[in-house]
């Protein structure tokens, strides 16, 4: 078994709504070029994605929806009909060959998962994956097909395995959650900004699954302006408790980078400190619970130049058993991209201050820890409850 491969092709950039749409595939090129400038891609395997088949897509998506996407991508679906499927909206505009482009992203995530569960690699990274808002019969939130949900269903069918999905995007991983809400062979854990302020408005602690899936849907909705320490305390605690409860065979992480303070669409206040630690903690959990088996995906992130390339490069670092990248960014990369964005950073860490001091910090931290306890209380014993209360990072 080899240690690591990443799944990527320049063809994935064809999943592009428009030059002005926030979901811009230039994020992929920025990240890959940064890793190339670091000289770290030559030592690892790259596997090209392949398109998902209709049979694979049907594991999650309705046949009439798949047909609608195909027709829409060739200009053969009326605007009114497209709107019925969440297509042709401000979030998810139509573009040529949208089925083919979206199916390639789905196939890339299937490939990344299959490489691990077949025993060829211990860890993989599909940078173009993580489109977590797609639903069975409609597009949503920039997501046409739900690559993660399709890949999870395909792997469970093929390998009869248990999959823990961990989502640290600022937006609730709603499409993946609802796809497995009634099932006991997958668990979803989403840590996101509260839906009181942000799309899609779901992801409450009380969304715990149903029927056979009760207890296998976990959510931590963070208060707006949550900072690194509060986020990471909650993340480490609930991730390891989820692993302890569910005993997964594989961990899949969605690594949206839009909880960063610079992201233009969200209201959290993370810095690169969190994006150094999030994937390191995930790999630590995989080493402890799944014999190291982990698949990482991309996701959201709308500060294309300043945040996403650094955050996703730190995912690569963790998956290749490196410590977080530190110091200055490669001068060649900075020079290459400065002509397009004068704000391209020059260091791996952020330059402070990124934002004004948050006067509600103690209140936010305590509120977030109470959310952690509300989530875990039905699933942990009295000893663990006492420990979580006595060892609260925010005890007065």
The 10s digit of each residue's pLDDT in 21-55 is 999 999 999 999 999 999 999 999 999 999 999 99
Taking only the tens place, the pLDDT of each residue in 66-80 is 999 999 999 999 999
Taking only the tens place, the pLDDT of each residue in 155-169 is 999 999 999 999 999
Alpha helices by DSSP H, listed for the chain, are 26-38, 54-57, 63-72, 79-84, 98-117, 147-159, 174-179, 228-246, 272-289, 308-319, 331-338, 361-376, 382-390
Taking only the tens place, the pLDDT of each residue in 306-336 is 999 999 999 999 999 999 999 999 999 999 9
Write down the pLDDT at residue 389: 87
Taking only the tens place, the pLDDT of each residue in 172-196 is 999 999 999 999 999 999 999 999 9
298: pLDDT confidence band, cut at 50, 70 and 90? very high
Taking only the tens place, the pLDDT of each residue in 203-254 is 999 999 999 999 999 999 999 999 999 999 999 999 999 999 999 999 999 9
Answer yes or no: is pLDDT of 396 > 70: no
Write down the pLDDT at residue 395: 60
Please state, rounded to an integer, the average pLDDT across all residues of the chain.
97
Answer yes or no: is pLDDT of 357 > 90: yes
Percent of the chain exceeding pLDDT 90 equals 95
CATH match of 2-360 with 3.40.50.720 = no
As a whole number, mean pLDDT of residues 278-282 equals: 99
116: pLDDT confidence band, cut at 50, 70 and 90? very high
Candidates 224, 269, 246; CA nearest to 368 is 224
Strand ranges across the sheet with 217-222:
45-47, 2-7, 121-126, 294-297, 250-254, 163-167, 186-193, 217-222
User: What global pTM score does this model have?
Assistant: 0.97
- Distant-in-sequence, close-in-space partners of 350: CB < 8 Å, separation ≥ 6: 271, 272
390: pLDDT confidence band, cut at 50, 70 and 90? confident
91: pLDDT confidence band, cut at 50, 70 and 90? very high
Candidates 63, 59, 284, 278; CA nearest to 186 is 59
Answer yes or no: is pLDDT of 299 > 70: yes
**98-117 and 63-72 helices, crossing angle to 10°:** 130
393: pLDDT confidence band, cut at 50, 70 and 90? confident
Domain coordinates of the chain in residue numbers? 2-360
Assign residue 178 a region: left if phi > 0, alpha if psi is -120 to 50, beta otherwise?
alpha
The string of DSSP codes covering 267-302 is --BB-HHHHHHHHHHHHHHHHHHSTT-EEEE-----
């Amino acid at each position: 078994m080899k240690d690591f491969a990443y799944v990527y092709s320049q063809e994935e950039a064809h999943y592009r709504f428009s030059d002005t749409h926030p979901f811009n595939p230039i994020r992929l090129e920025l990240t890959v070029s940064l890793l190339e400038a670091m000289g770290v891609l030559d030592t690892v395997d790259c596997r090209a994605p392949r398109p998902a088949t209709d049979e694979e897509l049907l594991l999650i998506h309705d046949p009439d929806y798949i047909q609608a996407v195909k027709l829409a991508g060739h200009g053969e679906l009326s605007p009114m009909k497209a709107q019925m499927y969440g297509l042709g909206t401000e979030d998810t505009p139509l573009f040529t060959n949208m089925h083919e482009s979206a199916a390639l992203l789905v196939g890339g995530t299937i490939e990344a998962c299959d490489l691990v569960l077949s025993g060829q690699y211990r860890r993989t990274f599909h940078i173009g994956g993580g489109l977590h808002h797609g639903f069975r019969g409609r597009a949503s939130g920039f997501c046409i097909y739900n690559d993660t949900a399709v890949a999870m269903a395909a792997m469970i069918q093929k390998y009869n395995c248990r999959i823990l999905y961990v989502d640290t995007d600022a937006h609730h991983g709603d499409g993946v959650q609802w796809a497995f809400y009634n099932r006991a062979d997958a668990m979803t854990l989403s840590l996101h900004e509260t839906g009181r302020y942000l799309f899609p408005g779901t992801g409450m602690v009380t969304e715990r699954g149903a029927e056979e899936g009760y207890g296998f849907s976990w959510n931590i909705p963070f208060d707006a302006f949550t900072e690194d320490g509060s986020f990471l305390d909650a993340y480490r605690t609930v991730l390891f408790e989820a692993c302890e409860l569910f005993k997964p065979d594989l961990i899949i992480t969605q690594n949206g980078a839009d909880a960063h303070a610079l992201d233009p669409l969200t209201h959290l206040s993370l810095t690169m400190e969190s994006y150094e630690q999030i994937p390191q903690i995930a790999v630590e959990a995989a080493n402890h619970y799944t014999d190291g088996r982990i698949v990482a995906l991309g996701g959201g992130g709308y500060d294309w130049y300043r945040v996403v390339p650094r955050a996703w490069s730190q995912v690569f670092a963790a998956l290749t058993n490196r410590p977080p990248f530190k110091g200055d960014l490669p001068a060649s990369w900075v020079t290459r991209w400065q002509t397009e964005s004068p704000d391209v950073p020059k260091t791996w860490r952020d330059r402070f201050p990124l934002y004004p001091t948050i006067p509600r910090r103690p209140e936010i931290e305590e509120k977030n820890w109470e959310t952690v306890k509300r989530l875990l209380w039905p699933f942990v014993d009295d000893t663990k409850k006492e420990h979580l209360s006595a060892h609260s990072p925010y005890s007065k």
